[in-house]
Amino acid sequence: MYLLLVSVVLLLWYLLFRNKRRRLYQLAEPIPGAKDTFPYLGLLKNSYNAVDNVVSDIENISRETFKTGGIQKMWGGPLFFIALTNPADIEYVSKTCLEKDLLIMKSVRAFTGDGGIFAPVSIWSRKRKVIIPAFSPKILNSFMDMFSRRSADLVDKLKELSGTGTFDIWPVINNFTLASIAETSLGIKNLDGINDVVVSDFLKSVEEIFKVGSTRTFSIWLWPDWIFKLSWQYRHFTKHSNKIINITNNIIRKKRNDLKHVDLNVYENQTIFDHLILLSQRQNGFTDKELREEITTFLLAATDTSAVAICNTLLLLGKYPKIQEKVHEELVRVFENDKEKSFKDVLNDLKYLDMVLKESLRLYPPHHLATLFLFKLV
Ligand code: HEM
């Protein structure tokens, strides 16, 4: 009797739930559906091993979506997803619906707080007014000499490694991008005051945080905060997140201290961080916490994306020696064997290299998946 009552209540609840969402089902009906999905579970059937398979799953979904005209619907239990692969559709939706998907953002925001790109739109649009001027062409050009110097150091490092057998290039490039971002965004040269152990600690922690973030995103049982907080993943996440927070706090404290005696209005060689402080003083000011969130977001977003782009380009150049030869010829011609020439002087002449980089980014985009929340009909 008791069981019957529970079943009736559950059935009624389910019917009401479906009735409330009938418009969604109507709209979803004509969209082609993903093959190989389980009734009711949908994509969630993959969640037990989703982290291991995430890249191949995304690849498969993209291929299937290409075949169905660039649009495909998918269910993850009660959650409704639409995959898009047509650039024009993606551009339209990403301009119409700016709010990020809460599922993925939940894991990211636990770490970055409301840092720029990861923040809800209301916060992001206010912060953007401060951040975007810090990326003006004039400011970016002022970093060219630093990029040249750091790139020359990287070449020396790679020369040392060449001929020593196979080696993993990822940590070398990842260290290089972190050091470059730290110098341009924070003005920390040679990561002074921060030794190699701290740098590799930072990178290790970033990696661990990404791992926990993707595990949580693709593990339905870790979505509720209270369950996540009981898990070993949460303890692991907190340990690494605290490490990064400490490192960034130290960087910010040091930088703020250095800037105390400087009039930022007349100060040359400003970094992005200097600009954020300067622009903050005028309007839409950032609090210390917000500054830390922005810097953490910069360091995370810029280090990994740039390192992935460089590594993929190097791999492609290794795979296609004829293209590599052409890039080399252009560099020799443009630099005319003059090692003193700065990258700044020749940037616009490196046309072939520019095409190679763009093709590498097109084939292997470091940021290959964006999830947005559809809050209205598009
Ligand atoms: C190859 C390397 C990079 C790739 C592929 C890349 C990709 C992206 C993408 C896809 C977005 C849009 C994100 C979104 O709206 O969800 C973005 C935004 C952003 N990126 Fe990058 N990025 C790269 C390097 C960098 C670097 C080196 C920096 C700075 C130090 C940087 C700073 C930013 C900032 C500040 C935004 C937010 C802009 C806004 O609020 O509109 N990125 N990036």
Residue 348 lies in a domain: yes
CATH of the domain at 283: 1.10.630.10
Question: What's the mean pLDDT in 96-114?
Answer: 77
- Distance (Å, whole) CA 53 – CA 344: 42
| Bigger pLDDT: 24 vs 196 | 24
HSE value, Cβ hemisphere, 13 Å, CA-based, for 345: 9
- Which of 81, 96, 111 is the C-terminal boundary of a domain? 96
pLDDT band with cut points at 50, 70 and 90 for residue 3: confident
Query: Are 89 and 232 members of one domain?
Result: no
Query: What pLDDT score does 280 carry?
Result: 62
- Distance (Å, whole) CA 249 – CA 245: 6
- Which of 96, 114, 133 is the C-terminal boundary of a domain? 96
Domain limits at 86?
12-96
Residue 177 lies in a domain: yes
Query: Are 140 and 35 members of one domain?
Result: no
Residue nearest to ligand 1 atom 38, measured at CA: 117
| Bigger pLDDT: 130 vs 62 | 62
Residue nearest to ligand 1 atom 27, measured at CA: 302
Cα of 149 from ligand 1 centre, angstroms:
23
Cα of 297 from ligand 1 centre, angstroms:
10
Question: What's the mean pLDDT in 147-173?
Answer: 90
Query: What pLDDT score does 355 carry?
Result: 97
Residue 171 lies in a domain: yes
Query: What pLDDT score does 192 carry?
Result: 44
Residue 378 lies in a domain: no
User: What is the chain's length?
Assistant: 378
| Bigger pLDDT: 271 vs 195 | 271
Instruction: Say if residue 193's pLDDT is above 50.
Output: no
Question: What's the mean pLDDT in 214-221?
Answer: 78
Query: Are 40 and 150 members of one domain?
Result: no
Q: Which of 104, 117, 276 to mutate to test the pocket of ligand 1 (most atoms within 8 A of CB)?
A: 117
Residue 179 lies in a domain: yes
Question: What's the mean pLDDT in 128-149?
Answer: 82
Q: Which of 367, 368, 369 to mutate to test the pocket of ligand 1 (most atoms within 8 A of CB)?
A: 367
Residue nearest to ligand 1 atom 26, measured at CA: 302
Question: What's the mean pLDDT in 314-318?
Answer: 96
Query: Are 68 and 132 members of one domain?
Result: no
Burial class (CB in 10 A: 0-12, 13-18, 19+), 262: exposed
pLDDT band with cut points at 50, 70 and 90 for residue 205: confident
Cα of 121 from ligand 1 centre, angstroms:
16
Query: Are 74 and 144 members of one domain?
Result: no
- Among 11-25, 89-103, 149-163, 270-284, which is the least confidently predicted range? 270-284
Instruction: Say if residue 286's pLDDT is above 80.
Output: no
Instruction: Say if residue 62's pLDDT is above 70.
Output: yes
Query: Are 252 and 144 members of one domain?
Result: yes
Instruction: Say if residue 37's pLDDT is above 70.
Output: no
Most confident of 115-124, 338-347, 356-365: 356-365
Query: Are 40 and 160 members of one domain?
Result: no
Cα of 368 from ligand 1 centre, angstroms:
12
pLDDT band with cut points at 50, 70 and 90 for residue 77: confident
Residue 2 lies in a domain: no
Query: Are 75 and 128 members of one domain?
Result: no
Cα of 204 from ligand 1 centre, angstroms:
21
Query: Are 181 and 274 members of one domain?
Result: yes
Query: Are 69 and 129 members of one domain?
Result: no
Residue 116 lies in a domain: no
Q: What number does the ligand 1 atom closest to the CA of 100 have? A: 16
Query: What pLDDT score does 322 carry?
Result: 98
Instruction: Say if residue 271's pLDDT is above 80.
Output: no
Residue nearest to ligand 1 atom 10, measured at CA: 367
Specify the amino acid at residue 250: N
Instruction: Say if residue 302's pLDDT is above 50.
Output: yes
Taking CA atoms, 376 is separated from 37, 46, 96, 97, 106, in Å, by 26, 28, 9, 8, 21
Average pLDDT over the chain, rounded to whole? 81
Question: What's the mean pLDDT in 193-217?
Answer: 73
Residue nearest to ligand 1 atom 30, measured at CA: 302
Tell me how many domains the chain contains.
Answer: 2
Instruction: Say if residue 313's pLDDT is above 50.
Output: yes
Query: What pLDDT score does 329 carry?
Result: 95
Query: Are 306 and 346 members of one domain?
Result: yes
Helices (H), 260-320: 272-282, 288-319
Q: Which of 124, 117, 138 is nearest to 284 (CA)?
A: 124
Q: What number does the ligand 1 atom closest to the CA of 128 have? A: 40
- Among 50-54, 239-243, 253-257, which is the least confidently predicted range? 50-54
- Which of 96, 111, 142 is the C-terminal boundary of a domain? 96
% of the chain at pLDDT higher than 90:
23
Q: Torsions phi, psi of 81, nearest 5? A: -125, 145
Could you report the per-residue pLDDT of 12-21, keeping only the tens digit for each?
Answer: 988 888 888 8
Residue 104 lies in a domain: no
| Bigger pLDDT: 32 vs 201 | 32
% of the chain at pLDDT higher than 70:
85
- Distance (Å, whole) CA 45 – CA 195: 45
Query: Are 139 and 271 members of one domain?
Result: yes
Query: What pLDDT score does 20 carry?
Result: 85
Q: What number does the ligand 1 atom closest to the CA of 181 have? A: 30
Query: What pLDDT score does 297 carry?
Result: 83
